[in-house]
Chains A and B, each alone.
Chain A
């Protein structure tokens, strides 16, 4: 393996790892969705690099190793520098809608993070330009390196806290530079190699920690909490799932008890505050085995299911510090399965604070599972009397309306069906959400439950539902069986004694609604009644927020945005109605617009201005259209596949890491094989392989596109039932199966880019950076666009669109380039002419 190819792999690993890391770091210091915004814009550095190379390619070509090394080293240095500067900018995402100055800071963030990606893209783009005969191999190392980066960064985040991890990843830049310089011959290489190695070491471990130390926004819950006298972080753990901080507050205790009735007079016992990525808190509650101090829990809406079943077997999905496990124990549960995604959170309760939590998770009647909630239920054969899904998101996160981009497979129709199928006879599914006004969460969940029951062919599904609300929470019950008269009486008594309002009960009279927490109109009751009745469809159509149930194909439970209400809501901003707007959706939309504008400004415009006469206009348009098309298509399939396999692998982080790296590695292998396939298909007579003979009327590109189409559409049809069947398998087998399915698809998807780029580099060499830049833009736009499309139409549509784009791409390149006919006619396609019109 040549050190130059290895350098490309190392650098690409660094780029992908830093994208993942920046997302983590932004989530900790600011809020998650801004990571999305900043990184997608910064990736346009890839596009800008195409322009840069189109202009300076010839000059840089002569000194390839040096140019590569400088850019690779700069990637690492600027990543650390940009992060250190970004942390010192007074950017406050929360104030963006009020303070125009924040826009300037946001622009500064874009600029800062564009630089490292620009440098990295220069390296790879330059390699393509300098070695046109090895494009397939270069692309292979690029993709395989990126795949390794995707897996490696997840492993790294288990070993290191995010800030040192970022420095370690940045050090891959100068490491790649060192490798590139090794390819130089003679003694001249010694000093640069040593110098770059020192830079790499310095980045990884030599810099003062304070330089990149995480500075949480002062508006994060954790920052605010730590200002309270006598508070301290008593434990902190980090993993790819999040930075978990446990805070003790001795003078002014935590008293976390959402959904608590105003009729309650009991103060919660001592608690430790648990913050994830600075948001929260949730609580670890002191427990000495006595149940009396927990009686306040019976005054929350979450307690309702326990008033309908005796001595239940319970599963708590999202157990965190254990509040809902305590609730179950308080009500005499005979067994509780506590499911928590983050093993670090579990360890806090079982090890470090075991005495404080009264050995909650090691009791004989409690069993704790480190697993994703829905996957746990899908994979178990157990049946439960109560399946409890408590409040999983921090109030501030929910309140900011920025969850809408989060795919959530926990609250889809299919997910609810899985929970309902795991209920024992007369068992109850109970889901609690924060109350929002006008109602959104609770009504969408209600509609989702109805849809799930209908999918199961349940007769009279509305007779199984009950919904109550306190002043800040709502709890939905879905019973496995019709609610009996006794159930209804018990629910009424429960609600009345705690001043909770009935939102929906079968046969409930309108006058029973809106009694304690009074709204100007009984919106909750009216909504639920309409959804349960014959006018559901027209109600959903009329409502100003999107209440259509989320499905696995369109898993955006938190997306309530409708353009129809946009102008009305925007006008209400100054009147205190800002929270009614779905900012997550708008930010996504803004990202797409910005990316479009910047793509034109950074890439297309400069290339058009300096277009010279490198190629016939028709060829240029075809190259442009082709690379744009396959860029979109590749990412559409990738994004949709991540979503699909996430449902199967049941883990947000590992699934993304496995799927992404499998995609990249196998696409890399495919791209390495592409030129060979093309040559064998071209060699018309005498090839004895009967398969190849049959394929010979087609180009390699057409063969690849046909394979992609068949596999992608085949997966759409076959995978959902297959995954349901394979769901109970263990993690390792599921990962192996996922990789086995991804491999052939990704392998063929790796081909269209190098196949076409080789053709371009042979016939129209000045257009190579162009193609690289256009592809970079497409990758940014497509990631955003795929999400927008999926939110509106579902992932199936995204995949079908991708297949159509691949077919279109093959059609675009069917005919030979015009330049091929006029080949080598003077300087017409000479590289210099592009900068000297």
Chain B
């Protein structure tokens, strides 16, 4: 084959490839099951299931609640990240969502949701809406989710996105999470994903006796551990600190 022919063949191949890419790009991204993200989503859920709870088993079991996994197998995580991050939307890592915020690592979302022990009739308050992904996961397991986001632009995007994706039992409000959501209180479950130097007293007050609050501690890309706040039937408060990984810091003396 002469050099010229080779070049022509090259151009044809290139054009063909471009055509295919254009076709792919023109196809709308569906949100229903059976889209191109079905496989990566299933793989993500499978991975989370494999990892499960480490040595800390706050519910006395190693596996994550199958209901949580099922929901995470449904919620289209790729819809909650920007276009250019869609290809990594289902890998087990936190992703930037703009405004210096992140969408948490799927495993941590699963652990936090599991820790909430949600029931279908429960009302949940979330402080720190972010992309709205976690609210979507929780909304599929609870009756109603009230979520507050401090950055107005994020709140607006998340509200529109959740409505478009059909999560009508989520209400997003921009503003200050410190005082909770008085008109919808008390809450069965509270999720605090915003950075806080202390747990706001009004939130503890708005937690129903027997309720649970979950707080992830750490930086944007550097999750550290989970704090579980429990309010017993008598109204007294206990917290638990949970490391998500199977790690024992010391080997016992023999």
A793 contacts the other chain (CB 8 A): no
Once the chains bind, are A218 and B100 in contact (CB under 8 Å)?
yes
Which of A516-524, A784-792, A828-836 lies at the binding interface? Answer: A516-524
Q: How far is the CA of A107 from the CA of B90 in the complex (A)?
A: 27
Nearest-Cβ distance from residue B179 to partner chain A, whole angstroms = 9
Chain A residue contacts of B108, Cβ below 8 A:
576
- CB within 8 A of B150: which of A220, A228, A264, A539? A228
- CB within 8 A of B237: which of A98, A262, A472? A262
Grouping DSSP codes into helix (H, G, I), strand (E, B) and loop, the B interface class, with mixed when no group exceeds half, is loop
B46 contacts the other chain (CB 8 A): no
Nearest-Cβ distance from residue A668 to partner chain B, whole angstroms = 44
The bracket for how many chain A residues form the interface is 35 or more
Which chain A residue has the least Cβ–Cβ distance from B201?
A265
Give the interface centre of A217, A401, A472 by most chain B CB atoms within 10 Å.
A472
Grouping DSSP codes into helix (H, G, I), strand (E, B) and loop, the A interface class, with mixed when no group exceeds half, is loop
A489 contacts the other chain (CB 8 A): no
Which chain B residue has the least Cβ–Cβ distance from A402?
B222
Once the chains bind, are A544 and B54 in contact (CB under 8 Å)?
no
Once the chains bind, are A516 and B223 in contact (CB under 8 Å)?
no
Once the chains bind, are A228 and B218 in contact (CB under 8 Å)?
no
Give the interface centre of B55, B99, B221 by most chain A CB atoms within 10 Å.
B221
Assuming the contacts A228-B150, A520-B56, A576-B223, asked whether A262 and B253 have C-beta atoms less than 8 A apart, the reply is no
Q: How far is the CA of A258 from the CA of B250 in the complex (A)?
A: 28
Interface residue ranges of A539-593 to B (CB < 8 Å): 539, 542-545, 568-569, 572, 574-580
Give the interface centre of B153, B200, B245, B249 by most chain A CB atoms within 10 Å.
B249
Q: Mark A666-705, 1 if CB is under 8 A from B, else 0.
A: 0000000000000000000000000000000000000000
Once the chains bind, are B253 and A535 in contact (CB under 8 Å)?
yes
B232 contacts the other chain (CB 8 A): no
Interface residue ranges of A436-460 to B (CB < 8 Å): 436-439
Once the chains bind, are A437 and B197 in contact (CB under 8 Å)?
no
Q: How far is the CA of A94 from the CA of B221 in the complex (A)?
A: 6
A527 contacts the other chain (CB 8 A): yes
Once the chains bind, are B222 and A227 in contact (CB under 8 Å)?
no
Chain B residue contacts of A264, Cβ below 8 A:
198, 201
Q: How far is the CA of A224 from the CA of B223 in the complex (A)?
A: 17
Chain A residue contacts of B200, Cβ below 8 A:
255
Once the chains bind, are A575 and B54 in contact (CB under 8 Å)?
yes
A508 contacts the other chain (CB 8 A): no
Once the chains bind, are B220 and A471 in contact (CB under 8 Å)?
no
A490 contacts the other chain (CB 8 A): no
Once the chains bind, are A262 and B229 in contact (CB under 8 Å)?
yes
Assuming the contacts A252-B175, A262-B239, A543-B250, asked whether A95 and B221 have C-beta atoms less than 8 A apart, the reply is yes
Chain A residue contacts of B227, Cβ below 8 A:
471, 517
B71 contacts the other chain (CB 8 A): no
B132 contacts the other chain (CB 8 A): no
B182 contacts the other chain (CB 8 A): no
Q: Mark A318-336, 1 if CB is under 8 A from B, else 0.
A: 0000000000000000000
Q: How far is the CA of A445 from the CA of B88 in the complex (A)?
A: 41
Q: How far is the CA of A542 from the CA of B248 in the complex (A)?
A: 11
Q: How far is the CA of A438 from the CA of B248 in the complex (A)?
A: 8
- CB within 8 A of B245: which of A400, A499, A572? A572
Once the chains bind, are A574 and B201 in contact (CB under 8 Å)?
no
Chain B residue contacts of A568, Cβ below 8 A:
247
Which chain A residue has the least Cβ–Cβ distance from B153?
A227
Chain A residue contacts of B244, Cβ below 8 A:
575-577
The bracket for how many chain B residues form the interface is 35 or more
Chain A residue contacts of B105, Cβ below 8 A:
576
Once the chains bind, are A258 and B251 in contact (CB under 8 Å)?
no
Assuming the contacts A260-B198, A575-B107, asked whether A223 and B240 have C-beta atoms less than 8 A apart, the reply is no
Assuming the contacts A518-B240, A574-B51, A580-B247, asked whether A229 and B152 have C-beta atoms less than 8 A apart, the reply is yes
Nearest-Cβ distance from residue B57 to partner chain A, whole angstroms = 8
Q: How far is the CA of A134 from the CA of B59 in the complex (A)?
A: 77
Q: How far is the CA of A84 from the CA of B79 in the complex (A)?
A: 34
Interface residue ranges of B174-205 to A (CB < 8 Å): 174-176, 178, 195, 197-201, 204-205
Once the chains bind, are B240 and A228 in contact (CB under 8 Å)?
no
Chain A residue contacts of B42, Cβ below 8 A:
none
Assuming the contacts A229-B152, A517-B241, A578-B223, asked whether A539 and B250 have C-beta atoms less than 8 A apart, the reply is yes
Nearest-Cβ distance from residue B249 to partner chain A, whole angstroms = 4
Interface residue ranges of B131-189 to A (CB < 8 Å): 150-153, 174-176, 178
Nearest-Cβ distance from residue B213 to partner chain A, whole angstroms = 10
Nearest-Cβ distance from residue B192 to partner chain A, whole angstroms = 12
Nearest-Cβ distance from residue A522 to partner chain B, whole angstroms = 12
Nearest-Cβ distance from residue A474 to partner chain B, whole angstroms = 12
A267 contacts the other chain (CB 8 A): yes
B63 contacts the other chain (CB 8 A): no
Once the chains bind, are B99 and A227 in contact (CB under 8 Å)?
yes
Assuming the contacts A255-B178, A518-B238, A576-B108, asked whether A396 and B219 have C-beta atoms less than 8 A apart, the reply is yes
- CB within 8 A of B100: which of A227, A252, A499, A575? A227
Once the chains bind, are A92 and B251 in contact (CB under 8 Å)?
no
- CB within 8 A of B96: which of A95, A401, A542, A578? A95
Chain A residue contacts of B195, Cβ below 8 A:
395-396
Q: How far is the CA of A568 from the CA of B151 in the complex (A)?
A: 38
B38 contacts the other chain (CB 8 A): no
Chain A residue contacts of B55, Cβ below 8 A:
520
Q: How far is the CA of A471 from the CA of B248 in the complex (A)?
A: 20
Give the interface centre of A256, A543, A544, A574 by most chain B CB atoms within 10 Å.
A574
Q: How far is the CA of A556 from the CA of B218 in the complex (A)?
A: 22
A219 contacts the other chain (CB 8 A): yes
B92 contacts the other chain (CB 8 A): yes
- CB within 8 A of A219: which of B151, B220, B224, B251? B220
Q: How far is the CA of A219 from the CA of B218 in the complex (A)?
A: 13
B43 contacts the other chain (CB 8 A): no
Q: How far is the CA of A50 from the CA of B198 in the complex (A)?
A: 55
Once the chains bind, are B249 and A544 in contact (CB under 8 Å)?
yes
Once the chains bind, are A400 and B222 in contact (CB under 8 Å)?
yes
B225 contacts the other chain (CB 8 A): yes
Q: How far is the CA of A438 from the CA of B229 in the complex (A)?
A: 19
- CB within 8 A of B220: which of A94, A437, A438, A518? A94
Once the chains bind, are B198 and A97 in contact (CB under 8 Å)?
no
Q: How far is the CA of A568 from the CA of B54 in the complex (A)?
A: 13
Once the chains bind, are B93 and A98 in contact (CB under 8 Å)?
yes
Q: Mark A452-496, 1 if CB is under 8 A from B, else 0.
A: 000000000000000000011000000000000000000000000
B residues near A (Cβ < 8 Å) are 51, 54-57, 92-96, 98-101, 105, 107-108, 111, 150-153, 174-176, 178, 195, 197-201, 204-205, 217-225, 227, 229, 237-253
A residues near B (Cβ < 8 Å) are 92, 94-95, 97-99, 217-220, 223-224, 227-229, 251-252, 255-260, 262-267, 395-396, 399-401, 436-439, 471-472, 499, 516-521, 523, 526-527, 535, 538-539, 542-545, 568-569, 572, 574-580
Q: Ordered nearest first, which 5 A-B pairs have the shortest CB separation?
A: A260-B198, A438-B249, A577-B245, A218-B100, A576-B244
A-B pairs with beta carbons under 8 Å apart, 10 shown: A98-B221, A99-B93, A399-B219, A471-B227, A472-B197, A499-B237, A539-B250, A569-B247, A577-B247, A580-B245
18 more A-B residue pairs beyond the given contacts A223-B100, A228-B151, A542-B252, with a C-beta to C-beta distance below 8 A:
A219-B220, A224-B100, A227-B150, A251-B176, A255-B197, A257-B197, A264-B198, A396-B219, A399-B222, A471-B227, A519-B241, A520-B242, A520-B243, A544-B248, A576-B107, A576-B223, A576-B245, A579-B218
